[in-house]
Amino acid sequence: MGASAIDISGKNTAAEYPSVEELKQRLIIPEVGFTPAPEVPQPNVFPIEWRVETPKLAEIYERAKREGFNPSAIPWDTLDPSAYTADERIAMMYWWALLSNFDSSGPAVFGRAMIHAFETHQEDPVRKCFFSITRDETNHEECCQRAIQRLVPNGPQGFAPKTELERAALNNIDWLYHNGGRYWTGFNNAVGKYPLAVLFTSFMLGEVASSTLFHGMARATRHPVFEQVFRSIGRDESRHLQICITLLEKEWPGLSDEYRAFVTKQLRAGFVFLSMVLWEPPPMFWQLPDYFLDNHRVLLDIARRAGLGILRVDEQAENWRIAIAKVRKLLERWRIEFPAIPELDIEGVDVGDISDADIIPVF
């Protein structure tokens, strides 16, 4: 093709490209009018449109693009496994496996929430924010993966335990993932059933708690790699929290009383579920053998001594209280009652026992 085929604007003007006027002659305009396309049965991701109702969410999405971090850019090779004893390595790996019981379900949980948002035709920034959370959670999962592989190759479950401590850790991880599996089943059933406001109130408790947790751990850890990881994840979680709050300010006013009561129960479920990594789990929902908690405490104490950055149990409880106070304040504005959390001496509505189907919260 010669230079003359393309004019200065970059358009194709050679003879094989007829003019627009010539092309328009070929249009077929039926005398009886166009046949309307059938309506797309819903829920469906089609028809596609890019409606913006909440510009603030669009802003947060832009920020997510700039702020996101790359887990491979963290200097993992400076995390020297030989600087720790085998006991310390397994104990620290155990904590990362514990975290991954929450953070590693994040990509699939938000991936599904994103598809749901497309199918129910949420405004464009909502869908994009869900996408950004999915992206971030995949990074958090990668951090769990990398930390675990560095400390115990083929962890969390594929290594051959040689000591009592290693056997205890592996068995506890098996039990954690058993419960993680129950959570996934419950979440799958909930995602299509409840309005976004309900789903996101559950998410919000997780985001408030996790942003506080990671900022605290970034300060407490003795290793620069862990500090960088915790700081990066903490920044993401703060952004997730802003997404939640912005979305809820939009959705809460339309919430029916029936759902208001349900949200109260969800907050209690969030406390029960997330306490496993944020503090200590109350004796409901969690199916665990009777020795689990003792072994869990031993492993976490060893990881604490090794400088991973796990807060003391009393600091964790205080962390929870602060997070809960923040959420409670937000909810008051929308006449949503807060559940009682007797474990932390927090008064509120008694919502009874928590079962598999109640657990939606995620980091």
Q: Which residues bind Fe ion (CB under 5 A)?
A: 103, 106, 137, 140, 237, 240, 363
CB of 61 to Fe ion, least distance (A): 15
By beta-carbon proximity to Fe ion, the closer residue of 124 and 237 is: 237
Give whichever of 175 and 363 is closer to Fe ion, judged by the CB atom. Answer: 363
Q: Tell me whether residue 121 or residue 127 sits nearer to Fe ion (CB atom).
A: 127
Q: How far is the CB of 18 from Fe ion (least distance, A)?
A: 54
Question: Mind giving me the DSSP string for 78-112?
Answer: GS-GGGS-HHHHHHHHHHHHHHHHHHTTHHHHHHH
148, 93, 92, 100: which is closest to 277 by C-alpha?
100
**Contacts with 210 (C-beta within 8 Å, 6 or more apart), sequence order:** 102, 233, 234, 237, 274, 278, 363
Minimal distance, residue 105 CB to Fe ion, in Å: 10
Distance CA 210, CA 239 (A): 11
Cβ closer to Fe ion: 124 or 136?
136
Our CB check for Fe ion shows the closer of 109 and 170 to be 109
- Closest approach of Fe ion to the CB of residue 361, in Å: 11
Residue 341 CA: distances (Å) to CA of 90, 238, 271, 345, 351: 33, 24, 8, 6, 10
* Residues counted in the chain: 363
H or E element that contains 310: none
Q: How far is the CB of 211 from Fe ion (least distance, A)?
A: 8
Q: To the nearest whole angstrom, how small is the minimum distance from the Cβ of residue 341 to Fe ion?
A: 21
**Contact predicate 101/176, CB 8 Å:** yes
The smaller minimum CB distance to Fe ion, of residues 84 and 270, is found at 270
Q: Which is nearer to Fe ion, 277 or 300 (CB)?
A: 277
**Bridge-partner residues for 6, per DSSP?**
12
Least distance in Å: CB of 210 to Fe ion? 6
Query: ∠ CA 278-151-222 to the nearest 5 degrees?
Result: 60
Determine how many CB atoms are found less than 10 A away from the CB of residue 172. 22
Segments in the chain forming alpha helices (H): 20-25, 55-67, 86-103, 106-119, 124-151, 164-191, 196-220, 224-251, 257-278, 292-305, 313-332
Do the Cβ atoms of 146 and 152 come closer than 8 Å? no
Residue closer to Fe ion, measured from CB, 88 or 137: 137
Cβ proximity to Fe ion, 236 vs 358, nearer residue: 236
Q: Which residues pair with 341 in a beta bridge?
A: 346
Please state the φ and ψ torsions of residue 26, each to the nearest 5 degrees.
-85, -10
Query: Least Å distance between CB 20 and Fe ion?
Result: 50
Rounded least distance, CB 293 to Fe ion, Å? 24
User: How many of the other CB atoms lie within 10 Å of CB of 324?
Assistant: 22
